[in-house]
């Protein structure tokens, strides 16, 4: 079992650009959540996908959007990047009654 995987591991972008981050959930998991973690802070919930639909959303602007595919993998898209979007982006998967979230290693995004 490969666990939760994320790509790429690091990314450098400039202000105004767009970025797409990818996540493959743990085998057997159908729910994917995305988090943003700024340096020295706890993760902030962005949104959660289940059955290809956005089920919950945190307090993030519409510049942050996502998608879940039929194989349960997911993408996070961020448009019009700002310097403040620089952070570690974490993906977590879970399934059914087991509420334990399993996290991937994250994607480090730097916006210059």
Partner 1 sequence: KQEVTQIPAALSVPEGENLVLNCSFTDSAIYNLQWFRQDPGKGLTSLLLIQSSQREQTSGRLNASLDKSSGRSTLYIAASQPGDSATYLCAVEGGSYIPTFGRGTSLIVHP
Residues that bind partner 1 (CB under 8 A): 4, 6, 33, 40-45, 48, 55-56, 58, 88, 90, 92, 99-106, 108
Closer residue to partner 1 (CB): 19 or 31: 31
The least distance separating partner 1 from the CB of residue 57, rounded to whole angstroms, comes to 8
Closer residue to partner 1 (CB): 80 or 107: 107
CA triple 85-68-58, angle to 5 deg: 45
Closer residue to partner 1 (CB): 18 or 57: 57
- Dist CA 6 CA 97 (whole Å): 24
The least distance separating partner 1 from the CB of residue 92, rounded to whole angstroms, comes to 8
Work out the end-to-end distance of the chain between its first and last CA atoms, rounded to an integer number of angstroms: 36
The least distance separating partner 1 from the CB of residue 16, rounded to whole angstroms, comes to 26
- Dist CA 85 CA 94 (whole Å): 25
Distance of CA 48 to the CA centre of its chain: 9
């Amino acid at each position: 079992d490969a666990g939760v995987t994320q790509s790429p591991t690091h990314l450098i972008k400039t202000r105004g650009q767009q970025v797409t981050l990818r996540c493959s959930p743990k085998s057997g998991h159908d729910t994917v959540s995305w988090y943003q973690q700024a340096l020295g802070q706890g993760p902030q919930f962005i949104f959660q996908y289940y059955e290809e639909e956005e089920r919950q959303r945190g307090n993030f602007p519409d510049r942050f959007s996502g998608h879940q595919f039929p194989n349960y993998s997911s993408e996070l898209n961020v448009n019009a990047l700002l310097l403040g979007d620089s952070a570690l982006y974490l993906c977590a998967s879970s399934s059914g009654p087991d509420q334990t979230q399993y996290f991937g290693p994250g994607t480090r995004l730097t916006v210059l």
